């Protein structure tokens, strides 16, 4: 349903991404991972049309560059890292904005479907009890869930997440990833997410795109892409043994 | 299903309730009457009503009341003040939402200074449009306001992509100083034409006419109305530009239309009243405390609070040293700089 062909991003003579390709089918969860500066976020910025790029992103055969903003939002939803709140909006107000792309004229009220999508988004993210609370008073995890609820209300086909849990503790990380996993079970959905944590990439991703210095090191089913050799190429250390060692320390603690 | 019903009830209505409309409306009207009555000559309320009533219905003017003071001096002035108050406050609220920066405002960004440079150039070099009074000054003020806005923002984006508070304010101050030096330069060369330098730097609405009222009103209806149409989009911008883009807002179009409207309103306000600083900072800030940040409530409330704030400031400017009169900008800047420091301090503490 989504296809990236030969994507390159160049900023001031520096290639941030070079000829990256990938494909996305219904039910796929593509993990983009690699070291700092590998070009992971740049790739996300290219999809969301924030930076200029060469190559082509296609959604169901159509170049997404020419989508109108509201049609874009109905198909592709992006959750960025490091969201902050400066003004006192309520959780409900933020989630409601997710239906913007579906609103008609200025005076049109929310439709039945809008209401239902908002309710549903609040329910699955467990935000119903704090719907009228100001976002200034939320914890990091609650704020992230609020924006996730907005995305669910927006109901795109493809969810793109740029390190959605990088500053959250392990409980919230699991919570967010499980929510997304549930969302993905619906019909005709796919997820792309940038993650640092290789454990998360392995546990949740169906496919992985491993980047290093803007180039593809490996791409394919997560199990194959995250092989010992590929990881060593991307991270220039023996990641596989490191992970095994870390796991071992837990096993040792058990006994 | 029960849970669904519960939270549906909990989702508050977004608009501005009719009760709030009535309360704010009555307060605004009372302030307006107070401002017409009080001044160097105090006029009883009953006389004010009589004078307005008889003017509207073209009745013979009753003797003994200060008819001309009310109808041809105070009323147009107070109405102009109220309209400028509303206009500047809406602009301030719009810019603060758009740039996600609670300190953004015409005077802090340097847009007002830019507009006054345009107006001063038009007056000094006699740029007019034949047949339409004030049009030359206004259009020059509008163009300069827009150019300043574009210049300041593109400079700010270049220096600091996140448009942090400090960067914007710093650029605004430096730009204002630069423009004010240019204004002084122009005035030195055309001293005979531009007499009141303090008018352009401090602002005053003394001597406003009904023509001014009509112009301010039309500009407010057209461009203020345009800004109010974008309440939802401004909510998204206030949460973050990325968020606005993500939910499907046409970022470039909305941004351009809002900035252009802001420039048009500030241009016209400055060409009529000079630079009246900090109104767009103080009013939205206080109003936000009452209504929250949702622009669907903030804007309607701002219409009333903006009018009240500037009418009271004008009253203070007239009353404090009566019979001497202070420029209205002195009062607003006095209040505004205190509020500015408070917001800045609070933001600092938060981050």
**Domain with A23 in it: what CATH number?**
3.40.50.300
Decide if A25 contacts A157 (C-beta within 8 A).
Answer: no
Task: Note the pLDDT of residue B62.
Answer: 64
Helix orientation angle between B45-56 and B18-37, rounded to the nearest 10 degrees:
100
CA dist list (Å): B117 to A205, A226, B129 = 59, 63, 18
The list of chain A residues with pLDDT below 50 reads: 255
Residue of chain B whose Cα is closest to the Cα of A74: B248
Could you tell me if A200 and A221 are in contact, meaning their C-beta atoms sit under 8 angstroms apart?
Answer: no
In a domain, B52, yes or no: yes
- Give the number of other CB atoms < 10 A from CB of residue A35: 15
**CA-based radius of gyration for chain A:** 19
Which residues of B are less than 8 Å from A68 in CB distance? 250
Number of domains comprising chain B: 1
Over the stretch B141-190, which tens digit does the pLDDT of each residue have?
999 999 999 998 888 888 776 666 677 778 888 999 999 899 888 888 87
Supply B14's token pair: 């977004």
Long-range CB pairs of B5-12, under 8 A, 24+ apart, other chains included: B6/A128, B7/A119, B7/A122, B7/A123, B7/A128, B7/A131, B8/A115, B8/A119, B10/A92, B10/A128, B10/A131, B10/A132, B11/A92, B11/A96, B11/A118, B11/A131, B11/A132, B12/A90, B12/A92, B12/A132
Crossing angle of helices A112-124/A170-184, nearest 10°?
A: 140
Kindly state the DSSP code that residue B324 receives in the 8-state scheme.
Answer: S
Which residue of B246, B249, B257 is the best one to mutate when testing the A interface, meaning the one whose CB has the most A CBs within 10 A?
Answer: B246
CA separation for the pair A93, A146 (Å, rounded): 10
Sequence-distant (≥ 6) Cβ neighbours of residue A64 within 8 angstroms: A47, A49, A57, A58, A72, A75, A76
| Tens-place pLDDT, residues B204-236 | 888 889 999 999 999 999 999 999 999 999 999
pLDDT for A245 equals 84
Instruction: State the best of A12, A71, A100 to mutate against chain B, taking most chain B CBs within 10 Å.
Output: A100
CB-based contacts of B317, cutoff 8 Å, min separation 6: B325, B326, B327, B328, B330, B331
Q: Number of A:B CB contacts under 8 A?
A: 104
| Minimum-distance CB partner of A88 among B6, B8, B293 | B293
Give the pLDDT confidence of A188-217 residue by residue, as tens digits: 999 999 988 888 888 899 999 999 888 898
Residue B29 lies in a domain: yes
User: How far is the C-alpha of A164 from the C-alpha of A148, rounded, in Å?
Assistant: 9
> Which two three-digit tokens encode residue A88?
């006192």
What secondary structure does DSSP assign to A148-179, as a single string?
Answer: HHHHHHH--SEEEEESTTTTS-HHHHHHHHHH
Q: B64: pLDDT confidence band, cut at 50, 70 and 90?
A: low
Spatial distance between the Cα atoms of B113 and B275, rounded to a whole number of angstroms: 7
* CA nearest to A118 within chain B: B8
Place B194 in a pLDDT band, splitting at 50, 70 and 90: low
pLDDT of residue A219: 92
The structure tokens listed for A209 are: 């795109």
**B11 falls within a domain:** no
Structural domain count of chain A: 1
pLDDT of amino acid B186: 86
Tokens representing B289 are 């405390």
The whole domain housing A181 covers 2-254
pLDDT band with cut points at 50, 70 and 90 for residue B5: very low
- Rounded to a whole number of angstroms, the distance from the CA of B38 to the nearest CA of chain A is 38
Residues recorded for chain B: 351
Backbone angles phi, psi at B321, to 5 degrees: -110, 30
Residues above pLDDT 90, as percent of chain B: 41
Residue-wise pLDDT for B309-338, tens only, equals 999 999 999 888 877 888 898 899 899 889
Q: Tell me, what's the pLDDT at B102?
A: 86
The answer to ipTM > 0.90 is no
What region, left, alpha or beta, does residue B155 occupy, with left being phi > 0 and alpha being psi -120 to 50 degrees? Answer: alpha
Residue A32 host element (H or E) = strand A29-34
Here the CATH number for the domain that contains residue B305 is: 1.10.3470.10
Neighbours of B92 (CB within 10 A): 31
CB A65 within 8 A of CB A50: no
Tell me the whole-structure pTM to 2 decimals.
0.87
A16 touches A24 (CB < 8 A): no
CB within 8 A of A67, min separation 6: which ones? A59, A75
Domain enclosing residue B333, as ranges: 20-36+43-350
In angstroms, the separation between the Cα of residue B98 and the nearest Cα of chain A is 12
pLDDT at B130: 78
Task: Indicate whether B226 belongs to any domain.
Answer: yes
pLDDT at B2: 39
Q: Mean pLDDT score of chain B, rounded to an integer?
A: 85
For the stretch B71-101, pLDDT in tens is 888 899 999 999 999 999 999 999 999 988 8
Alpha helices, DSSP H, located in chain B: 2-10, 18-37, 45-56, 67-68, 75-98, 106-109, 111-124, 135-159, 165-189, 197-202, 210-219, 225-229, 231-239, 241-246, 251-273, 279-291, 295-319, 328-350
Suggest the residue from A87, A92, A158 to mutate for an interface test with chain B (most B CBs closer than 10 A): A87
* A192 contacts: CB under 8 Å, gap ≥ 6: A24, A29, A30, A32, A44, A47, A158, A159, A160, A161
- CB–CB contact A122 B7 (8 Å): yes
Pairing between strand A190-194 and A2-11? unpaired
Q: What is the pLDDT of residue A43?
A: 92
B294 within domain boundaries? yes
Residue B7 lies in a domain: no
Residue B323, preceding peptide bond in cis (omega within 30° of 0): yes
Question: Could A77 and B100 be called an inter-chain contact, meaning their C-beta atoms sit closer than 8 Å?
Answer: no
Is the model's pLDDT at B196 over the cut of 70?
Answer: no
* Reported confidence tier of residue B277, pLDDT bands at 50, 70, 90: confident
């Amino acid at each position: 349903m989504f296809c990236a062909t030969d994507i390159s991003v160049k900023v001031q003579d520096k290639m941030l991404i070079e000829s990256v390709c990938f494909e996305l089918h219904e039910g796929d969860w593509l993990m983009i991972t690699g070291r700092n500066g590998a070009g992971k976020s740049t790739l996300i910025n290219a999809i969301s049309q924030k930076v200029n790029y060469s190559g082509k992103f296609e959604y169901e055969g159509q170049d997404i560059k020419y989508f109108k903003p509201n049609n874009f939002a109905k198909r592709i939803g992006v959750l960025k890292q490091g969201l902050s709140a400066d003004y006192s909006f309520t959780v409900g107000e933020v989630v409601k904005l997710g239906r913007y792309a579906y609103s008609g004229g200025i005076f049109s009220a929310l439709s039945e479907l809008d209401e239902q999508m908002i309710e549903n988004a609040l329910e699955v993210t467990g935000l119903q009890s704090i719907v009228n609370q100001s976002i200034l008073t939320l914890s990091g995890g609650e704020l992230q869930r609020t924006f996730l609820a907005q995305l669910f209300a927006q109901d795109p086909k493809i969810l793109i997440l740029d390190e959605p849990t990088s500053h959250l503790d392990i409980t919230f990380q699991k919570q967010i990833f499980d929510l997304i996993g549930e969302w993905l079970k619906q019909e005709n959905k796919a997820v792309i997410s940038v993650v640092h944590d290789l454990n998360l990439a392995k546990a949740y991703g169906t496919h992985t795109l491993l980047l290093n210095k803007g180039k593809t090191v490996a791409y394919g089913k997560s199990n194959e892409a995250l092989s010992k050799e590929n990881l060593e190429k991307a991270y220039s250390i023996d990641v596989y043994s490191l992970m095994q060692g870390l796991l071992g320390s837990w096993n040792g603690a058990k006994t | 299903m029960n849970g669904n019903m519960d939270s549906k009830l909990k989702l508050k209505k977004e608009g501005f309730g009719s009760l709030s409309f009535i309360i704010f409306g009555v307060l605004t009207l009372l302030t307006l009457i107070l401002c017409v009555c009080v001044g160097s000559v105090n006029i009883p309320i009953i006389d004010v009503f009589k004078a307005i009533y008889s003017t509207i219905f073209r009745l013979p003017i009753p003797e003994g009341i200060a008819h001309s003071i009310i109808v041809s001096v105070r009323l147009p002035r107070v109405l102009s003040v109220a309209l400028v108050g509303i206009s500047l406050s809406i602009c301030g609220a719009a810019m603060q939402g758009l740039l996600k920066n609670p300190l953004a405002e015409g005077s802090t960004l340097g847009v007002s200074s830019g507009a006054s440079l345009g107006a001063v150039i038009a007056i000094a070099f006699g740029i007019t449009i034949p047949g339409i009074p004030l049009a030359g000054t206004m259009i020059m003020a509008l163009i300069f306001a827009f150019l300043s806005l574009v210049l300041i923002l593109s400079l700010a984006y270049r220096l600091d992509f996140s448009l942090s508070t400090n960067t914007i304010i710093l650029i605004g101050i430096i730009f204002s100083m630069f423009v004010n030096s240019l204004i002084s330069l122009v005035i030195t060369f055309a001293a005979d034409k531009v007499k009141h330098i303090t008018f352009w730097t401090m602002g005053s609405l003394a001597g406003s006419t009904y023509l001014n009222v009509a112009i301010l009103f039309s500009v407010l209806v057209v461009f203020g109305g345009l800004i109010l149409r974008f309440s939802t989009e401004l909510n998204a911008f206030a949460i973050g530009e990325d968020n606005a883009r993500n939910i499907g807002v046409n970022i470039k179009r909305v941004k351009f239309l809002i900035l252009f409207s802001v420039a048009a309103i500030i241009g016209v306000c400055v060409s009529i009243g000079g630079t009246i600083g900090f109104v767009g900072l103080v009013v939205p800030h206080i109003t936000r405390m009452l209504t929250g940040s949702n622009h669907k409530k903030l804007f309607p409330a701002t219409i009333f609070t903006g009018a009240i704030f500037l009418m009271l400031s004008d009253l203070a400017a007239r009353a404090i040293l009566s019979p001497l009169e202070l420029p209205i900008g002195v009062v607003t800047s006095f209040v505004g700089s205190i509020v500015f420091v408070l917001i800045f301090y609070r933001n600092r503490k938060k981050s």
